[in-house]
Amino acid sequence: MSRRPRSFVEAVCFIQPWYVLLAGILPGFLLIFGSMAVHAGLVTAWPPHAPVARQVGYLHALNWSLCYALLFPVLLYLMASAIGGLAKALGRLHDCNMVRTPDLKPAVARSLIEKWLSGNVIRKTAMIVFAIATPACIAFIEWFTNNFWRLVHPQRYYHPPPLQFSDYDWGLTGIMQHWSMGGNLANAAFDLAAFTMEGLLLSSLLAFFVSVLDLGRVIPTGQINDEFILLPDLDGRDERLGFEVFEPALENLLAAALVAYLICFLVRLQGAYMASNVASSLADFITKDFNNGVLQAAAGAKNVNLGQVLLNLVNLHDQQVRGMLAWLMSVFLAIFSMVAVVWTVRAAALSARTNAREAIHDGRLGLTPAVAAAANKRLDKMAVWPLGYLRLDVLGFWIAIAVGTLMFYRVGLFVAGMVTFFLFAKLFYRLVKPDRSSSARTETDAPSGNGSSNVD
């Protein structure tokens, strides 16, 4: 009997996350070496109507070089760890006898895990359409229209889309430096490799989103068509009564959302820099747009208009449409993946608490009156929020901050500057403050002045 092919979730669960990290690092560094090989890594261009020469090379674009060499592999590692952690959490529910049939008998071991690993037709179709076909089409169309066609278009037919000011980057090095057709083809080949990585980034986010969204089908949450029901672990020590097993996976989800935010913020900054015509580099752009504006206003200069400063902070700035769509989609996919799992687990915990109360009331658990009373008290104190250390309002606040700082990138830079300043100030204070414990020990160990010595 032939074994069915592994699903995406099953394949990820059987691969060590460290292997995923290493596999993700290699293409990113190959792109860096490839950019140097085709002389697109360190490019300085002077676009029309620009007062200064601009750094537009692949290495200068941190949303490409840093993202695919470091941040994307870390994101892959965290997503693989989260999927593996969720599978382990489902297994722990079985180990604690929390998964029951409707007549309260323990379910067959690994029933929920097998259900999630195998998937169904809807998840398979969603994977093919959204995680494979859609990213591939987006990456190919963007490469063909914005790079390949401009580099090698046949002049006798029709011209490709005209170059905008923000289009003068490493992807069109051959045009900016008037290369031959062979150089342009090499440029286009490197561009294809880079946009393939962009497609893989979008594909991984969409595949991850589809996979964790499918947990709503697997974890019983009290729906009519649920095959199983859940009961809390009344013998557990944690106040979440068994549902704390999801916390490690949710921590990886939270970290993945943070890395996705950093990637999107780099895309946002690069898009704003490419649309600006006053800065010679990304660092220069940040310095002029942030330090000379916000920090001067924060210093309390008398001739500064506070309204103008606030308007400068929340200015959206010109942004490429493709860049805006990229960071918007990426950050919302990461955030919604985390929120979907959190709310699914919370709904399962609420359903489990209700099931336990009904079973105790009906006497179907076979508990003595004293044990039943103690179990009801534990259920009354049960926490249904799976992230025990992070409250819902705090999570919502930071999600709002993340989305807001992506929209208004200057606010993000301001927040980053404040956080950096306070971290360094706290570190400096720890280094220079006196060690009170050592001082106390010195005073304790010092000889008393009231003592006397005996001399023979």
Task: Divide the 456 residues of the chain into consecutive groups of 10 and give the mean pLDDT of each group.
Answer: 71 91 94 93 79 87 92 94 93 91 85 89 93 92 89 62 76 87 92 94 90 89 86 89 89 85 82 79 74 51 48 52 57 68 86 92 87 91 73 63 64 63 71 57 50 42
**Structure token pair of residue 136:** 């591939």
Which one, of 359, 323, 316, lies nearest residue 100 by Cα? 359
Query: Coil, helix or strand for 45?
Result: strand
pLDDT at res. 356: 92
Cα-to-chain-centroid distance, residue 200: 15
pLDDT at res. 456: 36
pLDDT at res. 289: 56
For 27, 39, 77, 143, 188, the CA distances from 185, given in Å and listed in that order, are 20, 13, 34, 13, 5
Cβ-based neighbours of 355, under 8 Å, separated by 6 or more: 222, 229, 230, 231
Q: How many Cα atoms sit within 13 Å of 318 on the Cβ side?
A: 8
pLDDT at res. 353: 93
pTM of the model: 0.81
**Structure token pair of residue 247:** 């916390």
Which one, of 399, 355, 362, lies nearest residue 379 by Cα? 355
pLDDT at res. 38: 92
pLDDT at res. 232: 93
pLDDT at res. 193: 95
pLDDT at res. 300: 47
pLDDT at res. 85: 93
pLDDT at res. 196: 95
pLDDT at res. 450: 47
